[in-house]
Amino acid sequence: MRLPRAVTAGLLAVTAAATCAACTTSGTPATPTSLTCSYPTGTDAAARPAQKPSTADVSRTGTVAALVHTSAGEIPLTLDRDRAPCTVHSFVSLTEQTYFVDTPCHRLTAPPAAVFVLQCGDPTGTGAGGPGYVVPDELPLGLAPAAGGGSAGGDSTVVYPRGTVALANRGVPDSGGSQFFLVYRDTVLPRTYTVFGRVDPPGLPVLDRIAAGGEDDSNGPGDGRPRIPVQIRAIDIGRT
């Protein structure tokens, strides 16, 4: 996604003129409103049929409203294209293909685990499923460093605040897909998870009720399936 630079001195005058046309009234270059994304084919087959998103002219401004209808209640989200345009574009594409319909939120982490999230987006409900392509990282900026400035696997740890919507991955760079997690309590993690939105205030009590119901420890202490079943029935998308 890097853009080539002009390398010929004779092009300077033309480049300058083009730059002026793209300047703001203060004379500073305008921020591009779109970009090209890349969605490489993954190593695993899609858990459910899905087409790759389009890659050209992807909007990088504004927000997208998403209302997640679940068996445990409605969870409204605001997706941030300024922060993670390619990730938002993929999520919207999968939603419009009904990829998430009738899929479970298969994982809840809670004490004694030190991570506090509800994870969704895998049609198989196993934690291994994805759309057949990968979403390259758009790593977050501006998250508060964790107390003590610790690190995990060489990556600095930061606080993913309550209400964060982030893309899950396989623990290696550029391995995200369809799975995402909703943070219901401030959580310290490596800065390796793309943040692409937030849970709107009306959705937080729904997450709290799910968390209060606990999980079954099927993946270990504090990590398993939510005891209150959470099935995504539909996601409505609106643009703002």
State both tokens at 177: 């897909």
Greatest alpha-carbon pair distance for the chain in Å reads: 68
Give me the pLDDT at residue 14, please: 32
State both tokens at 223: 């990590």
What is the average per-residue pLDDT within 118-122? 98
**pLDDT over 90 percentage in the chain:** 81
**Is 235 buried (19+), middle (13-18) or exposed (0-12) by CB count in 10 A?**
buried
Query: pLDDT tens digit string along 189-224?
Result: 999 999 999 999 999 999 999 999 999 999 999 999
**pLDDT over 70 percentage in the chain:** 84
Amino acid identity, position 82: D
Give me the pLDDT at residue 239, please: 56
pTM of the model as a whole: 0.86
**Residue owning tokens 């079943």:** 229
